């Protein structure tokens, strides 16, 4: 029996509700499996930890995670702590420390979800956005001088390396190649950013030669927002820089019906370090502690984790349990216009997994 060691980091806000729900789903799955089990270790890092220790996670935190097979993360964000501290002190520390350079964000309109694009059939919107996750606009390079004086100056320098761009574009081409439509859109802004983005475009052409069976095109990021709304079916796999993809993927999540549904994977494709899986939403303090958080984004992240671990059948069975539950409006949480609670949705998904496993065993 294979044992997967999973680190859980709920973080802040509703992360503390959706991560235990995700763990419950993994436990339901393991209860039905005679080939794998999970060993969980929980880490209480985040805003409360910061109030006690002055840091979001301990200095040797990465060492505690290093031997894990995967990390299930909730969210980092606290109304009383500046956003750049919560983000850089925890999530980015892990992403960058473990060189999780490919951030993968699938978007689909799940059964039963009332998505805002009325002319768009659910089948028209089936995208995966690959976000460069290790450099670019969020490289963290820059500084401030003359603070508080009229001549104050601040810079954030975007850094793109040939190696960094090449590896994420190659990852995106490979992902596009693995999907039925073999279609990739490379997002750029080389009309205005005439150095790094021009290099990005050049590297896209070079890498594309390794994938003659992938059809690809280039789109300016501003035009891409309109295309996502007006011609969603013309897109399949999308790759963009850190900042561009950050924005496009929030738009994608909204077009699919709710921020509460969307998952993301921070991958180290070379598997030198554990990869990290998390819902795309933040800490949502407005609904925290009320049992209202939609756990579906976390469950879908669990599906991505299972796929990454090589448990494709298990991933499929969790995904079909999720789809069964979203198809039932009485199991929709408030963000989807329903009244269901986190617990009700979680129990329904676990029940469906158990039923699915029983029927699989019976056949």
Query: Rule CB under 6 A: which residues touch ligand ATP?
Result: 14, 75, 77, 259-260, 281-287, 293-294, 297, 333, 335
Cα 115 to Cα 76: distance, rounded to the nearest angstrom: 27
What's the min distance (Å) between Cβ of 311 and ligand ATP?
A: 24
Sheet containing strand 215-220, strands side by side: 36-42, 2-11, 70-75, 275-279, 263-267, 102-108, 126-132, 237-240, 183-188, 215-220
Closer to ligand ATP by Cβ: residue 189 or 281: 281
Strand (E) or helix (H) holding 344: helix 342-362
Closer to ligand ATP by Cβ: residue 255 or 309: 255
What's the min distance (Å) between Cβ of 208 and ligand ATP?
A: 34
Strand (E) or helix (H) holding 319: helix 312-326
Closer to ligand ATP by Cβ: residue 70 or 284: 284
What's the min distance (Å) between Cβ of 284 and ligand ATP?
A: 3
Closer to ligand ATP by Cβ: residue 240 or 292: 292
What's the min distance (Å) between Cβ of 9 and ligand ATP?
A: 14
What's the min distance (Å) between Cβ of 47 and ligand ATP?
A: 10
Closer to ligand ATP by Cβ: residue 207 or 331: 331
Q: Which of 334, 357, 264 is nearest to 304 (CA)?
A: 264
Cα 26 to Cα 350: distance, rounded to the nearest angstrom: 9
Q: Report strand pairing: 70-75 vs 275-279.
A: parallel
Cα 309 to Cα 72: distance, rounded to the nearest angstrom: 13
What's the min distance (Å) between Cβ of 78 and ligand ATP?
A: 8
Length of the chain: 363
Cα 183 to Cα 215: distance, rounded to the nearest angstrom: 5
What's the min distance (Å) between Cβ of 184 and ligand ATP?
A: 27
Residues 175 and 186: beta-carbon distance below 8 Å: no
3-class DSSP state of 81:
strand
Q: Is the dihedral of CA 299, 239, 259, 121 positive or negative?
A: negative
Closer to ligand ATP by Cβ: residue 43 or 216: 43
Closer to ligand ATP by Cβ: residue 76 or 314: 76
């Amino acid at each position: 029996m294979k044992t997967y060691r999973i680190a859980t980091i709920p973080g802040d806000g509703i992360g503390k509700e959706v991560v235990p729900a995700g763990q419950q789903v993994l436990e339901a799955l393991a209860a039905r499996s005679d080939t794998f089990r999970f060993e969980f270790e929980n880490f209480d890092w985040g805003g409360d930890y910061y109030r006690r220790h002055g840091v979001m996670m301990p200095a040797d935190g990465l060492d505690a995670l290093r031997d894990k097979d995967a990390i299930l993360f909730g969210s980092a964000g606290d109304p009383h702590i500046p956003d750049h501290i919560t983000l850089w002190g925890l999530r980015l520390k892990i992403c960058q420390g473990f060189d999780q350079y490919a951030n993968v964000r699938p978007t689909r309109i799940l059964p039963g979800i009332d998505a805002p694009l009325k002319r768009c059939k659910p089948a028209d919107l089936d995208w995966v956005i690959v976000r460069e996750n290790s450099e670019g606009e969020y490289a963290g390079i820059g500084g401030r001088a003359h603070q508080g004086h009229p001549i104050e100056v601040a810079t954030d320098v975007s850094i793109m390396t040939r190696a960094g761009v090449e590896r994420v574009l190659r990852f995106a081409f490979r992902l596009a190649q693995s999907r039925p439509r073999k279609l990739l859109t490379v997002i750029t802004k080389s009309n205005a950013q005439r150095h790094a983005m021009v290099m990005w475009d050049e590297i896209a052409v070079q890498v594309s030669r390794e994938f003659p069976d992938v059809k690809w095109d280039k789109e300016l990021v501003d035009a891409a927002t309109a295309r996502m709304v007006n011609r969603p079916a013309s897109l399949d796999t999308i790759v963009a820089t850190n900042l561009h993809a950050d924005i496009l993927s929030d738009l994608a999540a909204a077009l699919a019906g709710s921020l509460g549904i969307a998952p993301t994977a921070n991958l180290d494709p070379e598997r030198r370090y554990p990869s990290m899986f998390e819902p795309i939403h933040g800490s949502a303090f407005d609904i925290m502690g009320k049992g209202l958080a939609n756990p579906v984004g976390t469950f879908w992240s669990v599906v991505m984790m299972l796929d990454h671990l090589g448990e494709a059948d298990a991933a499929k069975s969790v995904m079909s349990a999720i789809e069964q539950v979203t198809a039932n409006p009485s199991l929709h949480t408030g963000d989807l216009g329903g009244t269901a609670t986190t617990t009700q949705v979680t129990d329904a998904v676990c029940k469906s997994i158990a039923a699915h496993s029983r029927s699989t065993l019976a056949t």
